[in-house]
Amino acid sequence: LVSDWSSDVCSSDLFATARKLCLEKELRLSNPALNTPSLRKEPTKDLPVPAGDGRVRIADAIEKYIDQCWAENNHVAKTVKVKAQELGRFAEFCRVQRKKEHVADLNRADMLAYRDWMFKEGYMPWTVTGDLMGVTTMLKRNPLLSVKGLLKSEDWPDFPDTEPKPYTNEEVRAMLSVADEDEALFIRFMLGTGVRNKEAAHLEWGDFDFPGRPYGFTPSRTTTGTPRAGRARGASRCQTRSSRH
């Protein structure tokens, strides 16, 4: 059933990073951030904007940024909650390690110290990069006090591309052996197309091109179901699979 999956199908980014994500999650749980901003969807009370002195607390900037993420509704709930946890970790690092609680006090040295601390704690380069991106985005987009340019291009972690580690045929067989009919269909569809889980969740019948390639579809959708302009997934992989069926 699965002995002839092509390499391009099995190297889907969804399956290739599954193990890494599990390890990352375990590492995150072993280092919970304190004073994490609220994870609820309800907006918090309006926070006063300082009158000219820029004394905005980091925790307040994070809180308002997270509220803004909920209001924009561009991310699934899980993503927003992860953002809040990661930013809460940054705020706690600044308070404890750098003795800073205000946005205006942050500088490049603080960002580099946070980067180096994450590496020391055992986080992988791609996680450090993601956290730094999250912090810089929050500092730029929070509605209380926008701060830009704290990091230079050479400050970002540099790590080589790694070869993906897709599920082996034996692992796929093991999943199919315990899956019910619907789950097995979903597994085979994901393997046969290489789509991401959120893309699969928002597929519609109109996305498929059955005459040309049975599993082909054109739009790549955001997590809220909106098609991404100018992007397509599945074409080359689906043509490979359709020739076998």
> Token pair for residue 121?
């704690």
Contact residues for 75 (Cβ-Cβ < 8 A; gap 6+): 69, 83, 223, 224
What is the pLDDT, as a whole number, of residue 155? 95
What pLDDT, on a 0 to 100 scale, did the predictor assign at position 202? 77
**Region 142-171 average pLDDT:** 89
- CA–CA separation, 35 and 87 (whole Å): 10
Q: What percent of the chain has pLDDT over 70?
A: 63
Q: Which tens digit of pLDDT belongs to each residue from 6-46?
A: 444 444 444 444 555 555 555 555 554 434 444 444 444 44
Q: Which two tokens stand for residue 221?
A: 């959708």
Q: 231 with 219: CB under 8 angstroms?
A: yes
Q: What is the 3-state secondary structure (H, E, C) of 148-186?
A: CCCCCHHHCCCCCCCCCCCCCHHHHHHHHHHCCHHHHHH
d(CA 44, CA 64) in angstroms, rounded, equals 8
CA distance 230 to 219: 8
**Which secondary-structure segment (H or E) carries 110?**
helix 108-120
**pLDDT more than 90, % of the chain:** 44
pLDDT score at 213: 58
Question: Which residue bears the tokens 């969807």?
Answer: 41
pLDDT of residue 101 exceeding 60: yes
**In the predicted model, is pLDDT for residue 218 greater than 90?**
no
Contacts (Cβ under 8 Å, ≥6 apart) of 165: 16, 19
DSSP assignment, residue 208?
B
Count the neighbouring beta carbons within 10 Å of the beta carbon of residue 24.
16
Question: The pTM is what?
Answer: 0.55
Residue pair 193/209 in contact (Cβ under 8 Å)? The answer is no
Give the confidence band of 105 by pLDDT, cuts at 50, 70, 90. very high
**Mean per-residue pLDDT over the chain, rounded:** 75
Enumerate the β-bridge partners of residue 57. 102
Task: Provide CB contacts within 8 A for 201, sequence distance 6+.
Answer: none
Cα–Cα distances in angstroms (integers) from residue 180 to residues 115, 175, 215, in the given order:
44, 10, 21
Least confident piece of the model among 58-72, 106-120, 162-176 = 162-176
**What tokens appear for 140 in the block?**
């730029």
Tell me: the pLDDT tens digits for 157-190?
987 777 778 889 999 999 999 999 999 998 988 8
Considering only 19-28, 109-118, 133-142, 155-164, which range has the smallest mean pLDDT? 19-28
Question: What tokens were used for 43?
Answer: 């907006």
When pLDDT is averaged across residues 112-124 and rounded to a whole number, the result is 95
What's the pLDDT score for residue 110? Answer: 97
Crossing angle of the two packed helices 77-96 and 125-141, in degrees rounded to 10? 90
DSSP letter at 225 equals S
